[in-house]
Amino acid sequence: MKGKIIFILFFYFAFNANSQNSKTTFGIQYKPIIPAAYFNAADLSKSSASYNFNLKPKYSNSFGMVIRRQINKTFSLESGLNYTQRNFKLSITNSAINLSDFTAFGMRSYELPLQLLTYVRASENWYLNIAFGISHNVLASDIFSYGEEKNHFFFQNTYRKSGGYSALLANVGMEYRTENKGYYYFGTSLHRPWKAIGRIYPEYDDKTNIFNEDKEFYFDMLGNFVTIDFRYFFTE
């Protein structure tokens, strides 16, 4: 239901961009996703039956388009469409059987955000802003991957949350505006889903040692991440 509401609002202000009392600006953005120890966005470690696992977020990225619609001199609405690639490394160790392996995998998603942005003019060309909102996100697929060892004894299955998920958004940044060469933006953002967006089930099977065949052991994929934001807005 939340996703449908966001879609409706997005198309409403996108198709009413020519309103006499508002100004709409279009832009593009690139957002590196930086592994961070804050907001539950760092490594996760769990153990069971002498098997030790570590899930590590790796450098990832997101990019897409931005639509900003000015409400008045202080507030604007922002939406757009983003493609996000999250990369992970899942490691397994067990000293009892001399086991050490890892698997690397990626999770693709599509994001439709909606934020309320407020900004203040710091100088003739510089503006400071803060924004809050929500987004609806659709995960592209479930994920299966093997470990790096050629025997393929270690593998994992990641099952996404069906129907997508919603997330809280928060952003702070600064913007340099010119009359003829567009707006240049730099900032940072937090993406924090309300609930886990999927589950990761690691398994090991060398025909002698079998772990998690019944899939009772898993990692909750929280989906939290922090980005560094680079944007460019075109002038009218």
Q: What range does the domain containing 58 cover?
A: 2-233
When the pLDDT of each residue in the chain is averaged and rounded to a whole number, the result is: 88
Write out pLDDT tens, residues 4-56.
555 555 555 554 544 555 788 999 999 999 877 666 667 888 999 899 999 99
The CA distance from 11 to 1, in Å, is: 16
Question: Cα(46)–Cα(36) distance, rounded to whole angstroms?
Answer: 19
Q: Which CATH number characterizes residue 63's domain?
A: 2.40.160.20
Over residues 214-224, the mean pLDDT reads 89
Could you give the C-alpha distances from 202 to 137, 147, 221, in angstroms and in order?
25, 10, 13
**CA 66/CA 173 separation, integer angstroms:** 15
Q: Model pTM?
A: 0.84
- Which helix (DSSP H) or strand (DSSP E) does residue 189 occupy? strand 183-193
pLDDT digits (tens, 9 = 90+) for 100-156: 999 999 999 999 999 999 989 999 999 999 999 999 999 989 999 999 988 889 999
Residue 207 neighbours by CB distance under 10 Å: 6
106 vs 222, which has greater pLDDT? 106
Q: How many CB atoms lie within 10 A of CB 150?
A: 7
Using CA atoms, how far residue 24 sits from 32, 76, 186, in Å, is 26, 9, 19
Which pLDDT does position 8 carry in this prediction?
Answer: 57
- Number of domains within the chain: 1
Assign 63 a pLDDT band (cuts: 50, 70, 90). very high
> Which residues neighbour 205 within 8 Å (Cβ) at sequence distance 6 or greater?
153, 211, 213
